[in-house]
Amino acid sequence: MSCTTILIGKNASYDGSTIVARNDDSGSGRYDPKRFVAVRPEDQPRHYVSELSHMTKDLPDDPCLYSIVPNALPGRGILAEAGASVRNVAMSATETIAVNERVLGADPMVAFKPAQGEPGTPEYRAEQPGGIGEEDFITLVLPYVHTAREGVERLGALLERYGTYEANGIAISDVDEIWYVETIGGHHWIARRVPDDCYAAIPNQLGLDDFDLEDALGDQREFMCSADMREFIESNHLDVSMDADPHHLNPRRLFGTRSAKDHIYNTPRAWYMQRYLNPSDDWDSPSARYTPISDDIPWCRRPESKIGIEDVDFLMSSHFEGTPYDPYGTEGTEETRRRYRPIGINRNGQLVALQIRPYVSETNRSVMWISYGSNPFTSLAPFYANVSQTPAYLNNTTAEVTTDSFYWTNRIIAALADPHYVANSNHIEHYRENVLSYGHRLIARTDEAVDSAEADAQVNNIARSEEPGEVFGDLELANQAMADYLKAQTQDLLSKVLYTSSNLMRNAFAMSDR
């Protein structure tokens, strides 16, 4: 179970954008290299075959252009992970979650079953395809929808038709709304719209703690779900509330888990994100309302200050700074510093913050802030999503370890800096400051140029494209400029970290002959 997600409503963000951010973390002992690629309509499959589950599906013939950050190595399917389309819809998939045994008994996962025996013999059993999962969601949904709400509807229909083999949370956003979908068993699902003035902090745990079933089965203003959700809950005795409310459910209690492992792996991450964004609350005293092992930390809250990209970068890189639980810190004891699973860990593969901005033209509205590798040692950098090609520094990732790749360079930096974190922390802090500030400047300059060109085109009544903003030149040039700067800064950081860590090697000796 890996990954951490934060969702930021448009009135809770610093500039009125919707922001969806997620760390894509690999399982223990595995590291998944990442790429940044654009998928043109002609490259989108028309007949889809899932590599993991062998599910097959014919897809519509009208996909749009979209950009994703998938796994770089073969063997586990596309695993698009995070993406934004030319229609300014974004999607992050997935946040691995867990449902309880009662749910799994009522609606088992749809697992792939390989063929058994030899064809033509009585013992032969043909393979049974499984459902859809993290490998498939973005590819099957994102290029076909025009709004986040439409994305939820399409994803829900796919889950009901094909089922799933795993429990996941999926975020889908547009310029106005963010929706969060949680799969419930093999074929059921629920979804909630993030309140505009709130953020949602989500570790690997079923998170929704309030659900209006009447709205979900009626007007669907803020909630959606499987059409048979009421019957599913009632016939399988899933509502364990002592004071049952027919209108409002607590999905976390009905469908989720509450275990000792959650208190090590999940709840501390939600606690730390809310501690940072609502600092005036009591988080640390013996009488604190919420602690790192609280099972009732709210799914969403209104922040005390509006949330910026820098806050996202810090939180998704964080390791419990300022608490006794920081593995790089000096507070607490050796035991407390290793007690909980941090957000920024060695197994971070990529972080993408999907920002959809209301104050610029549709051409350049969607920005993907991207970093690769272990987040405490890198920085988010912005790249426009509406492009037909992406910079080599971010898309050329292979199995070869090379400093020509952003992913591998960060992995090298992290491994060198980790044993000497304090000694290297200033280098990393300056790197992050340089990359983020350059990124903001570059986006502002590019926005001005593109928006001016869009305005001129409208004045002259020039039709630029059938889709919103399929105009690649300025955006691709900006992305390349960002990649060039990022590469120079990352190479410089590698040089500094290598020098600093070399001087701190255990076989160092001060005396020399010159």
Cα separation, 119 vs 108, in Å, equals: 28
Residues 369/355, Cβ–Cβ less than 8 Å: yes
Q: Which is nearest to 78 in space by CA: 57, 107, 48, 119?
A: 48
Catalytic residue list contains 198? no
Angle formed at CA 439 by CA 434 and CA 440, multiple of 5 degrees = 105
Assigned token pair, 35 = 């790429």
Q: 242 exposed, middle or buried (CB, 10 Å; 0-12, 13-18, 19+)?
A: exposed
Q: How far apart are the first and last CA of the chain?
A: 53
Strand ranges (E), 412-484: none
Cα separation, 459 vs 326, in Å, equals: 56
Residues 236/102, Cβ–Cβ less than 8 Å: yes
Q: Out of 3, 198, 225, 300, which one is annotated catalytic?
A: 3
Identity (one letter) of the amino acid at 210?
A: D
Residues 300/195, Cβ–Cβ less than 8 Å: yes
Q: Could you tell me the maximum CA-CA distance found in the chain, to the nearest angstrom?
A: 82
446-451 long-range contacts, CB within 8 A, separation 24+: 446/364, 446/384, 446/474, 446/475, 446/478, 447/360, 447/364, 449/474, 450/360, 450/361, 450/363, 450/364, 450/474, 450/475, 451/360, 451/361, 451/364
Cα separation, 317 vs 315, in Å, equals: 5
Q: Which residue has the tokens 């796994």?
A: 71
Assigned token pair, 387 = 């492009």
What's the length of the chain? 514
Cα separation, 19 vs 369, in Å, equals: 10
- Those residues with Cβ within 8 angstroms of residue 176's Cβ, 6 or more apart along the chain or in another chain: 10, 18, 148, 358
Distances (CA, A) of 42 to 39, 63, 511: 8, 8, 64
Which residues in 62-77 are b (16+ Cβ under 10 Å) and which e? Answer: ebbbbbbbbbbeeeeb
Cα separation, 244 vs 237, in Å, equals: 12
DSSP 8-state assignment for residue 132: B
Residues forming the active site: 3
